Amino acid sequence: MNIAVGGAADADPAFRDSVLAGLAAEQKCIASKWLYDEVGSRLFDVITVLPEYYPTRIEAGILRERVGDLAAVVPEGAALIELGSGSSAKTRILLDAVPQVTSYVPVDISAAYLHAAAQQLASDYPGVDVHPVVADFTRSFTVPPHLAGAPKLLFFPGSTIGNFAIGEAEALLRRMAAMPGVAAFVVGVDLKKDPGTLVRAYDDAAGVTAAFNLNLLGRLNRELGADFDLAAFGHEARWNVPFGRIEMHLVSRREQRVTVAGEAIRFRPGETIHTENSHKYDPEDFGRLALTAGWRVADMWVDDTRCFSVQVLRPALPS
Residue 224 contacts by C-beta under 8 Å, 6 or more apart in sequence?
7, 8, 11, 15, 16, 19, 260, 261
pLDDT band at 319 (very low <50, low <70, confident <90, very high): very low
On whether the CB atoms of residues 149 and 122 are closer than 8 A, the answer is no
Q: What is the mean pLDDT of residues 39-55?
A: 95
Domain presence at residue 315 = no
Number of domains, the chain: 1
**Confidence band for 129, pLDDT divided at 50, 70 and 90:** very high
Contact 244, 280 (CB under 8 A): yes
Q: Give 9's pLDDT tier (boundaries 50, 70, 90).
A: low
Please say whether the beta carbons of 248 and 237 come within 8 A: yes
How far apart are alpha carbons 200 and 212 in whole angstroms? 15
Residue 59 lies in a domain: yes
How many residues are listed for the chain in this entry? Answer: 319
Residue 286 lies in a domain: no
Contact (CB, 8 A) for 302 and 309:
yes
Task: Report the b/e string of 188-217 with b at 16+ CB within 10 A.
Answer: bbbbbeeeeebebbbbbeeebbbbbbbbbb
Residue 273 has pLDDT above 50, yes or no: yes
Please check whether residue 303 lies inside any domain of the structure.
Answer: no
pLDDT at residue 85 in the model: 81
The CATH number assigned to the domain holding 28 equals 3.40.50
d(CA 172, CA 307): 24
- 69 burial level (CB within 10 Å; 0-12, 13-18, 19+): middle
pLDDT > 70 in the chain, percent: 96
d(CA 293, CA 151): 20
Cα–chain-centroid distance for residue 138?
10
Q: Are 277 and 168 within 8 A, CB to CB?
A: no
Does residue 249 sit within a domain? yes
Q: What is the pLDDT of residue 95?
A: 94
Q: What is the pLDDT of residue 7?
A: 52
Position 4 pLDDT exceeds 50: no
Domain holding 206, by residue range, is 11-148+178-183+193-280
Asked if residue 316 is part of any domain, the answer here is: no
Q: Tens digit of pLDDT for each residue in 188-244? A: 999 999 999 999 999 999 999 999 999 999 999 999 999 999 999 999 999 999 999
- The answer to whether position 173 is within a domain reads no
8-state DSSP, 29:
B
pLDDT for 2 equals 27
> Amino acid letter at 50?
L
Contact 66, 301 (CB under 8 A): yes
Tell me if 156 is assigned to some domain: no
pLDDT of residue 86: 75
pLDDT of residue 113: 84
Mean pLDDT over the full length of the chain: 93
pLDDT tens digits along 65-124: 999 998 888 999 999 999 988 778 899 999 999 999 999 999 998 888 889 989 999 999
